[in-house]
């Protein structure tokens, strides 16, 4: 038997679904009808949404994307290690370590303040320009370095906020048991802080995955550069659309997962 | 007369411009149980935190086994093992199991794998079944007992308890007080800040009534509770023992 309340809510739900479906249909119809009426539509369709070119270039773009994944994969551990080191340096309290603290602050200010693409140019062209022997002049190495410099600065700040969010009482409890500052950080504060900032760092990873494409400007034939090569070869922009599709296939699930982690974290704390 | 375990003289402590302890003198002898009672904000917790150096003292002496630990610059790390503290809010490490919470400090500070000793402690306090659980999976009373075990695992000679039953549901208070009873039977030197008047009256050797940052009246439980001398003590007891 349905209660009065349940019957009312079912009615309300039906009404809401009907309205949502109706308005979505109207918008879709308008898009399908209106966009092709634009004067340049024929040209845009031919140069951006050419199905034949899409199918022809897709496999090569996909294999070029493996380079993106490789650069991403070896950047992540370096970013994690350097980010943690910088976060700890910024939190160092001993007077002797003051230079470390200053260094950490300058590092973060510097590399968060420069656009990634600019740093990729400066490091990627500048350092091999010193005339280093092979393989030390590789744009793969210096491009990666540029990404690691920028992203470790961001990750350091995220970690530092995590460390500062651990309640003073946890530190007190550890100190009163006789644990040293170092052990308190390592066994009590850091494990909790890192767990707390996992969602924020997931967002960092998604952004990094996209920014790997910036390395195309200094040489490596990853997906964006491969798409550019096809564009020049075929005089058609469809390869860029195909590259965008490949990126979305990775970043959409990853962002959704980060959101899921973030929500779960929020719910756990309330 | 044996040397007192703790001897405080003229202890002063301010937070910013507000002086919260106005010169405290207190002696705790080995095996004694002293209860600090008084209204919230009277300085009980601060006094406890000064006894183990968690709060640095502004002026006066805190002698632990004859050593002045309030000396500015004194290295507190070695003496933390001699004096344990349990907090109102448990402060267990949430990312570790109950056993790991207890085992961390013996392993890192004493370089000792104290497994048998720790298991015996869990056994003694009726928590053997909960050693591998995380703090979130335990009741408040169980968490607080784990916190006591964690402090005891360092083999302290003195224990401080900062209102350890105040955050518990009423039906869980008893199990934690039983732990204190058993420590009392073992002859542990204890200082408690507490609102459990019945418990203080039953077990304490001495009651210190604190009011506005001083020990207003001090004496055996029977005297303090049945025949308080000071007007302030009478008022406080009248308000809590209705």
* CB contacts, 8 Å: A195 with chain B: 95
How far is the C-alpha of A172 from the C-alpha of A126, rounded, in Å?
48
A13 token code pair: 């739900």
* Best of A170, A176, A195 to mutate (most B CBs within 10 Å, chain B): A176
Model confidence pLDDT, tens digit, residues A21-44: 999 999 999 999 998 888 888 888
Angle in degrees, CA A178, A181, A187, rounded to 5: 85
Please write down the HEC assignment for all residues of B130-151: HCCCCHHHCCHHHHHHHHHHHH
Question: Given CB atoms, is A183 within the 8 Å cutoff of chain B?
Answer: yes
pLDDT at B68: 92
B87–A183 CB contact, under 8 Å = no
pLDDT at A222: 87
B80–A191 CB contact, under 8 Å = no
pLDDT at A267: 67
* Best of B79, B90, B105, B157 to mutate (most A CBs within 10 Å, chain A): B105
Angle in degrees, CA B19, B23, B25, rounded to 5: 145
Buried b (16+ CB within 10 A) or exposed e, A127-160: bbeeeeeeeeeebbebbbbbbbbbbbbbbbbbbb
Torsion sign, CA atoms A21, A22, A23, A29: positive
For residue B60, the distance in angstroms to the closest alpha carbon of chain A comes to 21
**pLDDT at residue A256 greater than cutoff 80:** yes
Question: Given CB atoms, is A195 within the 8 Å cutoff of chain B?
Answer: yes
* CB contacts, 8 Å: A177 with chain B: 80, 84, 104-105, 109, 150-151, 154
* CB contacts, 8 Å: B87 with chain A: 169, 172-173
Question: Given CB atoms, is A263 within the 8 Å cutoff of chain B?
Answer: no
A108 token code pair: 């973060």
CA-based nearest residue to A250, from A50, A57, A48, A62 = A62
Q: Which of residues 95-124 of B touch A (CB under 8 A)?
A: 95, 104-105, 108-109
Residue A213, C-beta contacts closer than 8 angstroms, at least 6 positions apart: A68, A222, A223, A224, A247
B78 CB neighbour count, 10 Å cutoff:
11
* CB contacts, 8 Å: A196 with chain B: none
Mean pLDDT of B124-142: 93
How far is the C-alpha of B64 from the C-alpha of B72, rounded, in Å?
15
**Long-range Cβ contacts of B39-42 (<8 Å, 24+ apart):** B39/B211, B39/B236, B42/B210, B42/B211, B42/B212, B42/B213
- In this prediction, residue A265 has a pLDDT band, given cuts at 50, 70 and 90, of low
Model confidence pLDDT, tens digit, residues A43-101: 888 889 989 999 999 999 999 999 999 999 999 999 999 999 999 999 888 888 899 99
Buried b (16+ CB within 10 A) or exposed e, B151-183: bbbbebebbbbbbbbeebeeebbebbbebbeeb
Mean pLDDT of B88-104: 94
**pLDDT at residue B165 greater than cutoff 70:** yes
CA-based nearest residue to A138, from A120, A151, A125 = A125
Residue A172 is nearest to which of B78, B91, B150, comparing CB atoms?
B91
Question: Given CB atoms, is A178 within the 8 Å cutoff of chain B?
Answer: yes
How far is the C-alpha of B21 from the C-alpha of B42, rounded, in Å?
9
- In this prediction, residue A171 has a pLDDT band, given cuts at 50, 70 and 90, of very high
pLDDT at A268: 60
Mean pLDDT of A184-200: 92
A164 token code pair: 């500062």
Can you tell me the ipTM of this complex? 0.89
Percent of chain A past pLDDT 90, that is, above it, reads: 66
Instruction: Report helix angle A98-113 to A139-165, nearest 10.
Output: 120
Model confidence pLDDT, tens digit, residues B183-238: 999 999 999 999 999 999 998 999 999 999 999 999 999 999 998 999 999 999 99
* CB contacts, 8 Å: B150 with chain A: 177
| Mean pLDDT for chain B overall | 92
B95–A191 CB contact, under 8 Å = yes
Residue B199 contacts residue B192 (beta carbons within 8 Å): no
Residue A176 is nearest to which of B54, B89, B92, comparing CB atoms?
B54
pLDDT at B1: 59
**pLDDT at residue A179 greater than cutoff 90:** yes
* Best of A178, A180, A198 to mutate (most B CBs within 10 Å, chain B): A178
pLDDT at A270: 47
Percent of chain B past pLDDT 90, that is, above it, reads: 76
CA-based nearest residue to B57, from B65, B68, B67, B66 = B68
A175–B94 CB contact, under 8 Å = no
């Amino acid at each position: 038997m349905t209660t009065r309340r349940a019957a009312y809510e079912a009615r309300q739900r039906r009404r809401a679904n009907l309205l949502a479906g109706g308005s979505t249909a109207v918008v879709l119809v308008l898009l399908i009808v209106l966009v092709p009426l634009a004067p340049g539509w024929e040209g845009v369709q031919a140069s951006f949404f050419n199905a034949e070119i899409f199918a022809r270039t897709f496999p090569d773009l996909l294999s070029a994307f493996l380079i993106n994944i490789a650069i991403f994969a070896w950047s992540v551990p370096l970013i994690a290690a350097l980010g943690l080191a910088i976060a700890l340096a910024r939190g160092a309290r001993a007077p002797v370590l003051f230079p470390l603290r200053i260094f950490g602050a300058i590092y973060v200010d510097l590399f968060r303040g420069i656009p990634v693409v600019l740093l990729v140019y400066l490091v990627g062209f500048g350092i091999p320009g010193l005339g280093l022997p092979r393989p030390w002049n590789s744009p793969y190495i210096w491009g990666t370095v540029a990404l690691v410099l920028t992203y470790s600065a961001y990750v350091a700040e995220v970690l530092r906020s995590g460390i500062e969010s651990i309640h003073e009482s946890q530190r007190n409890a550890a100190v009163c048991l006789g644990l040293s500052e170092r052990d308190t950080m390592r066994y009590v504060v850091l494990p909790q802080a890192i767990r707390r900032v996992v969602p924020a760092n997931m967002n960092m990873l998604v952004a990094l995955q996209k920014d790997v494409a910036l390395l195309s400007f200094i040489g490596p034939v990853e997906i964006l550069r491969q798409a550019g090569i096809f564009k020049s070869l075929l005089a058609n922009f469809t390869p860029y659309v195909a590259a965008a599709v490949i990126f979305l296939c990775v970043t959409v699930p990853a962002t959704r997962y980060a959101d899921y982690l973030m929500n779960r974290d929020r719910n756990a704390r309330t | 007369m044996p040397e007192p375990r703790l001897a405080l003289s003229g202890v002063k402590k301010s937070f910013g411009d507000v002086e919260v302890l106005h010169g405290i003198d207190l002696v705790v002898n080995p095996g004694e149980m002293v209860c600090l009672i008084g209204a919230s904000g009277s300085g009980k917790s601060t006094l406890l935190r000064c006894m183990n150096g968690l709060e640095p003292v502004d002026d006066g002496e805190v002698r632990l086994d004859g050593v002045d630990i309030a000396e500015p610059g004194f290295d507190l790390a070695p003496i933390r093992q001699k004096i344990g503290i349990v907090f109102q809010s448990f402060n267990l490490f949430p990312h570790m199991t109950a056993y790991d919470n207890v085992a961390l400090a013996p392993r890192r500070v004493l370089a000792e794998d104290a497994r048998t000793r720790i298991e015996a402690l869990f056994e003694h306090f009726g928590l053997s079944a909960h050693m591998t659980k995380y703090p979130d999976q335990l009741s408040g009373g169980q968490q607080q007992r784990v916190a006591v075990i964690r402090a005891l695992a360092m083999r302290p000679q003195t224990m401080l308890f900062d209102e350890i039953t105040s955050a518990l549901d009423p039906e869980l208070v008893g199990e934690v007080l039983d732990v204190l009873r058993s420590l009392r039977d073992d002859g542990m030197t204890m200082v408690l800040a507490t609102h459990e008047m019945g418990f203080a009256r039953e077990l304490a050797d001495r009651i210190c009534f604190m009011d506005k940052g001083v020990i207003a009246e001090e004496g055996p439980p029977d005297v303090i509770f049945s025949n308080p001398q000071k007007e302030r003590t009478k008022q406080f007891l009248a308000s809590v023992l209705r």
